[in-house]
Amino acid sequence: MSKNDIEIFEGKSLSELLKDIYNNSTKTKNQIDILTEELSKFVKRVSDVPVISPIIKDYLDVSIKNDEQLVKIAQVITRLQSKSSTDESAILSDKEKAQLLGALNEEVKDIQFDIDTVNNKHKSLEN
């Protein structure tokens, strides 16, 4: 952790968190691409489309939520970087930090639930 890096909780810096988010987003995008390709192979007849297309939509929704998280984090970084040495009002207050971490935790839970739902749907199609 560099001296200019912000520790957001014990043992985790902001740059490490951003790296984790980016890596997870990239991995999820690759998995979604692979699973979407696999699901499209299940479409043999027109009647298969209503079954398969909602699952593909769920995959895409998960990807969009991941990207939204990256944008939110980038906004926080921009706000922190705009802080000057004389302007302390630009930095996040403890209340804002708690709200941000709470919202981030809720989004992570929602994304994990969506991923689990999509994976369960995919498994049920395989059986």
Residues recorded for the chain: 127
pLDDT per residue as tens digits for the range 26-77: 888 888 888 888 888 888 888 888 888 888 888 788 778 877 777 777 777 6
Confidence (pLDDT) at 83: 63
Distance in angstroms between the alpha carbons of the first and the last residue of the chain = 47
Cα distances (Å, whole numbers) of residue 56 to 22, 65, 109, 114: 22, 14, 20, 12
Select from 48, 47, 58, 38 the least CA-distant residue to 117. 58
Tell me if 17 sits within 8 A of 9, measured CB to CB.
Answer: no
Among 41, 44, 39, 42, which residue's Cα sits nearest to residue 56? 39
Residue-wise pLDDT tens digits, 79-113: 766 664 445 554 667 787 788 778 877 888 888 88
CA 24 remoteness from chain centre = 7
